[in-house]
Amino acid sequence: MDLVKPGFGLVIWTIITFLCLLFILRKFAWKPILGAVEDRENGIKDALASAENARKEMENLKADNERILNEARAERESMLKDARDIKAKMISDAKDEAQSQANKMIEQAQSAIESEKKAAMAELRNQVATLSVDIAEKVVREELSNKDKQLKLVESMLSDAKLN
């Protein structure tokens, strides 16, 4: 039953042992333990600061990426618009050139047709004139080969001259 009611000597020795243990722990273990706790606390603070910096950097990178992406989209749209404009201009130019070439070809064809028509008309006139002269020559020969016919022809011409 001494343990339930400790004696005065036991209490003193327990206090002395406790103080020695406290002194030894303070001298040898307390500083390293506090140093380790302090190092751990600093490490956690540094890790939190580093994580915060990384988060901010990620936000900045995300904003930069978004900005670059928007610029790239705008540039792509601009390039597409320029390409559409160039395509439309090329098509328009090609149509204009084709129309111009078609008009030239039509004019050349009309000119060729007109010159061929004039040449054909001139040839036709020449042939008609030659044919008329040949026919007139044959008729006149036939008419002039006979004296009676010559007199009738002269009278006929004289009567036509009077009527006119």
- For the chain, the structural domain boundaries read 8-163
User: Helix, strand or coil for residue 145?
Assistant: coil
Cβ atoms within 10 Å of 30's Cβ, excluding its own:
13
Cα separation, 46 vs 52, in Å, equals 10
pLDDT per residue of the chain (164 residues) written in tens, 0 to 9: 455 677 788 889 999 999 999 888 888 888 888 888 999 999 999 999 999 999 999 999 999 999 999 999 999 999 999 999 999 999 999 999 999 999 999 999 999 999 999 999 988 888 888 887 777 777 777 766 677 777 777 777 777 765 44
Q: How far apart are CA 50 and CA 42, in angstroms?
A: 12
